[in-house]
Amino acid sequence: MTKARFEPLSFRRLPEDEMLRRAEDFLQEMRRRRTVRDFSDEPVPRAVIERCILAAGTAPNGANRQPWKFVVVGDPRIKAEVRRRAEEEERAFYREKAPKEWLEALEHLGTDEHKPFLEHAPWLIVIFAERYQPLRDGRKAKNYYVNESVGIATGMLITALHHAGLATLTHTPSPMNFLNEILERPEYERPFLILVCGYPASDAKVPVIRKKSLDEIAVFVE
């Protein structure tokens, strides 16, 4: 048993008017975030990605096990291999596996089996969820709330990258186990999603979509 240790919280209390201004500014900044599918091949400094991953690593998570691994791929040969394998899975999805209802739900986004962004974008951040932690004596330490934890960290990563001036795309070819093979990750790391990251192409277009209003997404019980 390890005894709990405590330290003073470093918390900045803000005046109400400043809180509201910051919340509003942040909303406007977040409204500019869009999922991008046309990327420029312009390089993005690794240092920016590193800071954003560290920000994601501050996410709240089960028992502070931090059950995530961010595998950042910049090597063009590995990116090409990821594209090849992902397009194989996506071809099967779009042509055979996907139920009609799912394809109809995707129609307005204009997605298909072609994933050139997996090669064009400078970085693919492949996020893995650690099912458990292997101990030195061969036993396995259980992780808790793995999906919730990795989902929160991923959201924070997307936010950090957007805030730093980059565009992202969440890509989830299914199944994704080929990523363990290509990236030589152990079996206890489960691919969670691929975050494609870079600058948008200068002529990038995004689908016309609407975000739900506050009334549609929130209920206040006061």
Judged by the rule CB under 6 A, the positions of this chain that interact with ligand IYR are 90, 93, 106, 109, 111, 171-173
| Pairing mode, strands 140-142 and 132-134 | antiparallel
The Cα–Cα gap between 44 and 168 comes to 12
Region for residue 165 given its phi and psi (left: phi exceeds 0; alpha: psi -120 to 50; beta: otherwise): left
| Three-state SS at 4 | coil
Nearer CB in complex with ligand IYR: 17/101: 101
- Please state the closest distance from residue 24 (CB atom) to ligand IYR, in A: 28
Nearer CB in complex with ligand IYR: 58/170: 170
| Three-state SS at 208 | coil
**DSSP single-letter state for residue 97:** I
Nearer CB in complex with ligand IYR: 94/188: 94
Nearer CB in complex with ligand IYR: 13/210: 210
Spell out the residues 6+ positions from residue 128 whose beta carbon is closer than 8 angstroms to its own. Answer: 68, 69, 70, 71, 179, 185, 189, 190, 191, 192
The rounded radius of gyration (Å) of the Cα atoms in the chain is 20
The Cα–Cα gap between 44 and 84 comes to 23
- Please state the closest distance from residue 103 (CB atom) to ligand IYR, in A: 9
- Please state the closest distance from residue 6 (CB atom) to ligand IYR, in A: 43
**Token pair recorded at residue 24:** 């509003």
Nearer CB in complex with ligand IYR: 60/207: 207
Residue with tokens 């975030």: 33
Nearer CB in complex with ligand IYR: 147/172: 172
